[in-house]
């Protein structure tokens, strides 16, 4: 995540990792569909805190794995996992990224929704793949869910709208699997695209708020003055509790994800 994110947003690795198991499931499902046998150069664009990137070293023991993210906070956390010659992390932006050699596997997980016009990047990324190389992406597809709709509605209400006007310019967005399939197929790939809705059962007080606080709501919350933010959070929590009622076994958060795994045709 965080490559190409809204300018000025400071990401919190600890908050993001609060639901590490649930956030890691789509990554594991994505990587499981990559049929690369013995890649030597693997790149994770938008690696976040690096914990999922590190699992790629286990999947492909002879590969050099490089994680790239534009958040200094995320990269600082990820660099604790560095393994010289095997696993490295670099501060960088997806829009400017250019590898110094052909890439065997390129993974980007829960990142592209922050990058306007990111469909234009995909053919460029296919071009940097080695013949027979793989590009795998996953993006959230839940932007019309109650958690996001409530956030947008609340941000447009006073007194908060006056503080937020012009400060939160970018909204996360991504198309459906059929769009990724078409773009990657036209770029010369064999493509497998699909979507999945996970039903995460979250525990604790206001768990949906704690989830989105680390991702989609962060730009809005961070844009509010510190003396105004608590009232906004209280109201947001109250509306989320109505939309996602707590049950005896926990709070269910439905979360749609969009996937595409593409293999460049060998020449």
Half-sphere exposure of 66 (CA within 13 A, CB side): 18
pLDDT at position 5, please?
42
Alpha-carbon torsion (127, 130, 133, 135), positive or negative:
negative
| Residue-wise pLDDT tens digits, 56-79 | 999 999 999 999 999 898 899 999
Judged on CB neighbours under 10 Å (0-12, 13-18, 19+), 39 is buried
- Please tell me which of 4-8, 63-67, 143-147 the model is most confident about, judged by mean pLDDT: 63-67
Give the pLDDT confidence score for residue 10 in this predicted structure.
59
Beta strands in 155-227 (DSSP E): 189-202
Read off the pLDDT band of 3 (50, 70, 90): very low
Arithmetic mean of pLDDT, 141-163: 91
Q: Write down the domain spans for the chain.
A: 13-264
Q: Does the pLDDT value for residue 168 go beyond 70?
A: no
- Which has the minimum average pLDDT: 143-152, 159-168, 170-179, 245-254? 159-168
Q: Which of 16-30, 135-149, 163-177 is predicted with the least confidence, judged by mean pLDDT?
A: 163-177
Percentage of the chain exceeding pLDDT 90? 76
Q: What is the mean pLDDT of residues 211-233?
A: 87
Res. 170 pLDDT band, cuts 50 70 90: low
Q: Which two tokens stand for residue 238?
A: 């109250």
Specify the pLDDT at position 7: 45
User: What pLDDT, in 10s, does the model give residues 108-127?
Assistant: 999 999 898 999 999 999 99
Is the distance from CB of 219 to CB of 155 less than 8 angstroms?
A: no
**Element spanning 69, H or E:** strand 64-69
Q: Per CATH, is 13-264 categorized as 3.40.50.150?
A: yes
């Amino acid at each position: 995540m965080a490559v190409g994110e809204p300018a000025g947003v400071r990401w919190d690795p600890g908050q993001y990792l609060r639901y590490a198991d649930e956030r890691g499931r789509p990554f594991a499902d994505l990587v499981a569909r990559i049929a690369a046998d013995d890649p030597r150069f693997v790149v994770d664009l938008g690696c976040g805190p690096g914990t999922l990137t590190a699992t790629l070293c286990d999947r492909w023991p002879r590969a050099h794995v490089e994680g790239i993210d534009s958040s200094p906070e995320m990269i600082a956390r990820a660099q604790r996992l560095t393994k010289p010659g095997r696993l490295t992390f670099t501060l960088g932006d997806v829009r400017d990224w250019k590898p110094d050699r052909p890439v065997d596997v390129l993974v980007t997980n829960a990142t592209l929704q922050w990058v306007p016009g990111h469909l234009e990047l995909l053919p460029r990324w296919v071009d940097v793949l080695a013949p027979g190389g793989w590009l795998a992406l996953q993006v959230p597809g839940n932007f019309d869910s109650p958690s996001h709709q409530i956030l947008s509605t609340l941000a447009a209400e006073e007194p908060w709208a006056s503080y937020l006007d012009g400060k939160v310019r970018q909204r996360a967005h991504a198309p459906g699997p059929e769009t990724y399939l078409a773009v990657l197929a036209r770029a010369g790939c064999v493509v497998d695209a699909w979507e999945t809705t996970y039903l995460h059962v979250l525990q604790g007080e206001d768990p949906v708020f704690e989830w989105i606080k680390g991702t989609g709501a962060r730009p809005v919350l961070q844009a509010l003055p510190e003396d105004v933010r608590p009232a906004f959070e209280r109201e947001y929590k109250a509306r989320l509790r109505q939309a996602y009622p707590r049950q005896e076994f926990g709070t269910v958060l439905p979360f749609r994800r969009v996937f595409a795994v593409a293999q460049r045709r060998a020449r």
